């Protein structure tokens, strides 16, 4: 037999570390070489090269939803604790409470809940029951895990044919949200960069809360009709039999209450579905009040709660005030903080943030480069005296800047110029390249 110090890391894992873990944990609770990231996308001239993805040697699970420990292995030329910092880094990325490292001689443990470390013999690796008991007693600042938290933790994600397993950051966002709700928190803010799957994350939150019985009636608010339809047809499709898109002109107050998940715009007039009508928050709430009592919904989700004018912000605020007894979740890529409106002031500090930088570093988002293009109104635009919009309404006489365009005013000539610039760029770089326009 080879001397241990001559063994490769894989040999040490096979002969020493894996047997020590398997002696205390069943195989269905262990995954190996678990990918945490996809590896950063690097642009080198006209070529794209991915960095190596981050992979955890071992991830140990309490349930499908709840990883509880990371174990990093090193060969025997390194110390027992050599891989511990790497394990801690992965544990923080995956929201895992316990991190271990080993070189085949022993285990070094770091408890992320208490900050304590200890060295354990190979045959003293903690059992699932031991780690579970410690996690339950040490969580929430030592206050422990509630019965509702245990119930929601045990509830699996939807893994039907119409969906996919969540990425690690999505699972963390879902777990943080449902566990906070189970603890009684009623205002939550999730901050996730554009393109990282906010709607999918919202779906899994809704799915687990409905299946666990902790919530029974859900209202999902968006600011654009196309977003509502996309959500219903795509990410929320596994719940299609329970979904209803609210139509204030046609819905009957008696029969409309038979569904579980409802979709609506922040504002819309009877028979209108584009959300562009100049309707006040009070008028919007009055429409909801004709169909639903104040306590009908026990969960309300506001998608892209940072977006839109002050008037639209006011509208969803009025809706949330009407359904104030419900748990309310704001989802955004960039929380809005102005002297008029504050997402954080309303929802509280984010319970989870996954930034654009993290998405790029992890390889789930492509890096970007800025190409500055000036239009003939880049420095501002002012209407002619008495100028009317296409609806025949007088345009307020002031100078409109970039922060107003497509929010407070839409200039079709500017939109055409933007589309033309994008088209010309794609002609030279690849017409069929994936493109997102903000």
Estimate the share of the chain in helix, then strand, then coil, as percent rounded to the nearest 5. Answer: 35, 20, 45
* H or E stretch covering 179: helix 168-182
Nearest in space to 306 (alpha carbons), one of 338, 274, 276: 338
8 A C-beta contact, residue 100 and residue 70 = yes
pLDDT of residue 317: 84
Q: Cα separation of 149 and 371, whole Å?
A: 48
pLDDT of residue 244: 97
Beta strands (DSSP E) in 159-275 are 187-192, 218-222, 243-245, 261-265
User: Any idea what DSSP says for residue 342?
Assistant: B
Structural domains in the chain plus CATH codes: 4-142 (3.90.1570.30), 147-361 (3.40.50.300), 370-438 (no CATH)
Q: Cα separation of 416 and 198, whole Å?
A: 29
pLDDT of residue 274: 47
3-class SS at 47?
Answer: strand
* H or E stretch covering 352: strand 352-354
Q: Mutual orientation of helices 168-182 and 84-94 as an angle, nearest 10°?
A: 60
pLDDT of residue 246: 95
* H or E stretch covering 287: helix 281-291
8 A C-beta contact, residue 289 and residue 323 = no
3-class SS at 378?
Answer: coil
8 A C-beta contact, residue 345 and residue 184 = no
Positive/negative CA dihedral, 179, 180, 184, 190? negative
Give the CA count within 13 Å in the CB-facing half-sphere of 211: 16
Alpha-carbon distance values, 16 to 19, 23, 82, 85 (Å): 6, 11, 16, 21
pLDDT of residue 437: 77
8 A C-beta contact, residue 246 and residue 262 = yes
pLDDT of residue 91: 98
**Tokens representing residue 438 in the block:** 């903000």
For residue 287, with 0-12 CB atoms within 10 Å meaning exposed, 13-18 middle and 19 or more buried, which class applies? buried
8 A C-beta contact, residue 68 and residue 96 = yes
**Tokens representing residue 249 in the block:** 């002109």
Q: Beta strand 299-303 with 117-121: parallel, antiparallel or unpaired?
A: unpaired
Count of beta carbons in the 10 Å neighbourhood of residue 55: 14
Alpha-helical runs (H) found in 302-438: 310-322, 343-347, 356-361, 412-429
**Tokens representing residue 39 in the block:** 């590896």
pLDDT of residue 269: 39
Positive/negative CA dihedral, 349, 350, 351, 353? negative
pLDDT tens string, the chain, 438 residues long: the values are 788 999 999 999 999 999 999 999 999 999 999 999 999 998 877 678 899 999 999 999 998 889 999 999 999 999 999 999 999 999 999 999 999 999 999 999 999 999 999 999 999 999 999 999 999 999 888 888 888 888 888 888 998 877 888 999 999 999 999 999 999 999 999 999 999 999 999 999 999 999 999 999 999 999 888 889 999 999 999 999 999 999 998 999 999 999 999 999 876 533 444 444 556 778 889 999 999 999 999 999 998 775 544 455 667 788 999 999 999 999 998 876 554 456 777 888 999 999 999 999 999 998 877 778 887 787 888 888 989 888 889 999 999 988 888 878 888 888 888 899 999 988 988 888 777 777
pLDDT of residue 270: 37
pLDDT of residue 367: 87
């Amino acid at each position: 037999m080879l001397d241990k110090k001559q063994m490769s890391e894989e040999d040490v894992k096979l002969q020493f570390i894996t047997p020590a873990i398997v002696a205390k944990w069943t195989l269905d609770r262990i995954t190996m070489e678990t990918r945490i990231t996809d590896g950063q996308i690097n642009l080198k001239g006209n070529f794209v090269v991915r960095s190596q993805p981050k992979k955890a040697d071992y991830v140990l699970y309490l349930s499908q939803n709840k990883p509880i420990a990371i174990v990093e292995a090193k060969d025997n030329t390194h110390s027992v604790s050599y891989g511990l910092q790497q394990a801690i880094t992965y544990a923080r990325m995956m929201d895992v409470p316990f991190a271990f490292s080993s070189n085949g001689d022993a285990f070094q443990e770091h408890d992320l809940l208490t900050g304590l470390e200890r060295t354990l013999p190979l045959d003293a690796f903690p059992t699932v029951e031991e780690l579970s008991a410690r996690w339950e007693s040490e969580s929430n600042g030592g206050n422990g895990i509630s019965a509702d938290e245990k119930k929601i933790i045990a509830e699996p994600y939807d893994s039907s044919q119409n969906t996919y397993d969540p990425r690690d950051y999505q699972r963390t966002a879902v777990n943080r949200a449902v566990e906070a709700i189970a603890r009684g928190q009623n205002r939550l803010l999730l901050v996730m960069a554009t393109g990282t799957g906010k709607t999918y994350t919202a779906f899994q939150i809704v799915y687990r809360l409905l299946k666990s019985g902790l919530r029974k009636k859900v209202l999902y608010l968006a600011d654009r009709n196309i977003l509502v339809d996309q959500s219903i047809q795509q990410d929320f499709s596994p719940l299609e039999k329970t979904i209803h898109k609210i139509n204030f002109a046609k819905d009957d107050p008696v029969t409309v209450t038979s569904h579980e998940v409802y979709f609506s715009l922040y504002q819309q007039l009877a028979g209108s579905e584009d959300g562009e009508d100049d309707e006040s928050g009070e008028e919007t709430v009055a429409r909801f009040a004709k169909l639903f009592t104040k306590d009908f919904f026990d969960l309300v989700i506001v998608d892209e709660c940072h977006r839109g004018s002050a008037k639209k912000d006011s509208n969803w605020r009025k809706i949330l005030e009407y359904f104030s007894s419900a748990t309310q979740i704001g989802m955004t890529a960039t929380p809005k903080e102005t002297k008029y409106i504050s997402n954080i002031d309303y929802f509280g500090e984010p319970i989870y943030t996954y930034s654009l930088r993290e998405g790029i570093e992890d390889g789930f988002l492509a890096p970007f480069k800025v190409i500055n293009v000036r239009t003939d109104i880049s420095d501002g635009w002012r209407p002619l005296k008495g100028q009317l919009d296409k609806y025949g309404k007088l345009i307020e006489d002031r100078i409109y800047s970039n922060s107003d365009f497509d929010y407070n005013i839409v200039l079709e000539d500017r939109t055409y110029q933007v589309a033309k610039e994008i088209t010309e760029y794609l002609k030279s770089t690849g017409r069929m390249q994936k493109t997102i326009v903000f």
